[in-house]
Structure 1
Amino acid sequence: MEISLEDLPEEPPLPVGYRLVPWSAEILKRHAEVKFQSFRFEVDANVFPCLGDAEGCFRLMREISMRDGFLPAATWMVEFDDPQLGDWRPIATIQGVRDREGNGSIQNLGVIPGFRGMGIGAVLLIRALQGFRDHEMPKASLEVTSQNLGAIRLYQRLGFRIASTVYKAVEMGAVQTTTQA
């Protein structure tokens, strides 16, 4: 899916008790853990097996952050002020890179189950798109699994349009099909 970065929607506020955290290398492991918690039971983990494995998510996050086109301005985390922990708990992540054509590319947008449907994915996505636009990229893209209807609805609501369709055969096994956004 693609979006022009000319006219982005206004970023909605996060719910009370949540905060945006900009990228830093010190929180790479926290991004990886959120990625794992977000994707491990989703169909995406069958399409991309590393998403169903904690160590695989760590390796993927490290690889993304080491790419030449990695863009910290498009890489964010959302944390929740968890009264049970008495501390901030990471609950959502997004990563962005500059692709070979000079456009933005969302690598992963994940929100841990239990925190979905609150607008957190929209805040993260718009913040990442602003990071791309601030770096003078004309458009951005992302890939989404066709069964991830919640995410597709979010992307379309924010202005993304289908640019191409790719088919990949996967074994569906014991995947729990819940939506993510």
Structure 2
Amino acid sequence: MGLTYFKRFRMELDLTEPLFDAPPLPPGYELVPWTDGLSREHAMAKYQSFHCELDANVFPCLGRRDGCVRLMREIARRSTFVPEATWLLRHHSPTSRPQAVGTVQGLRVEGWGAIQNLGVTQEHRGYGLGTILMAQAAAGFRRVGLAKMHLEVTTANTAAVRLYRKMGFRQARTVFKAAEVSHA
């Protein structure tokens, strides 16, 4: 194990400006607003989205099912939790029961909407689902009276950085996150 520093961008979006266009929800998908009973489904979507990704190195809890369950419970219990900006995405297959395939959570931090863990499972990427989830979160922040939102993204996650820029986020600053990483 060794200490590694991950370079991350803080990206910001002005919610008083017109929002980016999200594609329509593809057939077979369902957006589900937050309720207390959805914590475990959010956690499983989070785990499936991140456990094999770079962010599981930056935030080790994302690489474990129990870590995602604990993280989701902690987020939902915070006084700054914004249910209106927290969404679950399910996929309905004709041959199986509905499955959680995407998640986003929102917090209110110092007058800003703060995105937590936007994730879409690998097999469901490429359909605009991340953009759809982000649009729902942004609309939720607007509904509770917030005029701006931000997120952090690891710079090596170039697909996410590109997506956020396309949505109108601007890079505000660079931060570094220290994490213990196995150097095998």
TM-score by length of 1: 0.91
Paired residue total: 172
The alignment status of 1:66 with 2:77, answered yes or no, reads: yes
> 1:10-159 alignment to 2 at 5 Å?
10-85=21-96, 87-99=97-109, 101-159=110-168
Q: Tell me the percent identity.
A: 50
Q: Which runs of 5+ in 2 are unaligned?
A: 1-10
- Is the partner of 2:107 in helix, strand or coil? strand
Q: 1:102 & 1:168 partners in 2: Cα distance? A: 23
Which amino acid counterpart does residue 24 of structure 2 have in structure 1?
A: P
Q: CA deviation at 1:143?
A: 0.6
Q: CA separation of 1:173/1:25 partners in 2, compared to 1, >3 Å: closer, same or farther? A: farther
Instruction: Give the CA deviation at 1:172.
Output: 6.2
Per-residue deviation, 1:166: 1.2
Runs of 4+ aligned residues of structure 1 deviating over 3 Å after TM superposition are: none
> What's the secondary structure of 1:143's corresponding residue?
strand
Alignment RMSD: 1.3
Summarize deviations over 1:111-145 as a string: whole Å, max 9, x none: 00110111000000011001001111110000111
Shift of 1:11: 3.2
Query: Given that residues 73 and 132 in structure 1 are in contact (C-alpha distance below 8 angstroms), is that contact kept between their aligned partners in structure 2?
Result: yes
**TM-score, length basis structure 2:** 0.90
User: Larger RCO: Structure 1 or Structure 2 (Cα < 8 Å, ≥ 6 residues apart)?
Assistant: 2
Q: Deviation at 1:173?
A: 4.4
Q: Retained in 1: the 8 A contact 2:42–2:103?
A: yes
Structure 1 residues 140-164: Cα deviation after superposition (integer angstroms, max 9, x where no partner): 0001111111111110000001111
Report the 3-state secondary structure (helix = DSSP H, G, I; strand = E; otherwise coil) of the residue aligned with 2:68: helix
- What secondary structure is seen at the aligned counterpart in 1 of 2:98? strand
